Structure 1
Amino acid sequence: MSKQKTSFPYFHVVGFLLSIAFTVLALMVAFQTNLPVKTVMIIIGGFAVLQAGLQLFMFMHMTEGKDKYSKVIHTVYAIFMAVVIVIGSIWVMTAGHSIH
């Protein structure tokens, strides 16, 4: 027989509430300040990075398990691929306009 935890998932609830808080803070910065658009975008991007990190540790269990090196390698690879896809997409979309 295996043991199962039946306690309330406080850790997940706190992570969810923090994710909502980051989203609300980003919305407040976007709609209730008179900051320049570039500054607002940088702040929203910062909140997005914080929320992604929060979700990695609270929901995707990055700190659990025995083989932590493979998790780090897979995470770094996933971040690299996401950056390549985003930058590549922006490059292709902006470079294509000069041809037409």
Structure 2
Amino acid sequence: MDVRSLFAAQKYAASMPAMEPKPEIVPQVEKQFADFANEFSNTLKQAEGAANSAMVGSADPHALVEALAQSELAVETVVAVRDKVVEAYQEILRMPV
């Protein structure tokens, strides 16, 4: 066996633990994404409720405008995050193997 290939195999074996996710970090990230998704869903439900109330005439127009602005901001944020994830995925696909 060549010394360079032995050295490369040792470096590869040493780098394997660095590529594995840390078990204490993964649940935190999952919880943050779940919290974000729940908050997004609640924002959209509030906006929908305000819109329904406005249609029957029992809501303040200011509350409707505020709810719609919040839902628009939430949707724009989710779209921006999605775009960043897709961009990162495409960057990974372009990496040479």
Both proteins in one fold, TM over 0.5:
no
Q: Which protein has the bigger helix share?
A: 2
Name which structure has the greater RCO, CA cutoff 8 Å, separation 6+.
Answer: 1
Larger radius of gyration: 2
**Length-normalised TM-score, structure 2:** 0.43
**Length-normalised TM-score, structure 1:** 0.42
